[in-house]
Amino acid sequence: MTALPEQLDREEVGSGGDLDAAPAGTGRLRGAVTGRRDYRRIFRYCATSVLALGVSEVCLVALDAETTMGATLAALLANLAGTLPSYLLSRYWIWSEADRRRAGRQVVLYWATSLVSMGISSVVTGAIADADHAHHMLKLIVLGMVYLAVSLALWVAKYVAYQTVIFRSAATETATAEPIG
């Protein structure tokens, strides 16, 4: 008999439907990529990140090309523009099963992570943009490439933070709160 996809998903994540939980005794580490639902989560994270990065990148180049505000402020505003859709998609699409009892904690941690990330990318982008470039178009190309590279490095770090700290499921919260013994 062939298992239906829904049955496979339940078997992969346990009977509670939690993406992070594993059946008792499997020894699976939380956050490890082992099941189809883990790959779906990573795909959704990638899609959300591409959307947010696209919004940010367009804003950065448009602000820097059309204003005199400077690359650091433009990068900060670009990050803010991309963070809102990223947060909403992370909370309601990627980690939809996350514990909602502590939503305030999620909001604060998500935005704190985002602000640290914004600070890093804004400072690095601003430093590169302040370098003397012979041509304005070259500056825009270098600026966009540096911003993209910094964003990709931070992308991995943020995924780990989201998966292991910010958007933990109710079952994971309960399991980590109970003493081992």
In a domain, 5, yes or no: no
Segment 58-85 mean pLDDT: 85
In a domain, 7, yes or no: no
Print the SS3 string covering the chain: CCCCHHHHHHHHHCCCCCCCCCCCCCCCCCCCCCCHHHHHHHHHHHHHHHHHHHHHHHHHHHHHHHCCCCHHHHHHHHHHHHHHHHHHHHHHHHCCCECCCCHHHHHHHHHHHHHHHHHHHHHHHHHHHCCCCCCHHHHHHHHHHHHHHHHHHHHHHHHHHHHHHHCCEHHHHHHHHCCCC
Highest mean pLDDT among 34-38, 79-83, 145-149: 79-83
Highest mean pLDDT among 83-92, 162-171, 172-181: 83-92
The residue ranking higher by pLDDT, 177 or 117, is 117
In a domain, 181, yes or no: no
State the total domains in the chain. Answer: 1
- Which domain covers residue 96, as residue numbers? 34-170
Is the confidence at residue 48, as pLDDT, over 70?
Answer: yes
What does the pLDDT look like over 161-170, one tens digit per residue? 999 999 987 6
Is the confidence at residue 11, as pLDDT, over 90?
Answer: no
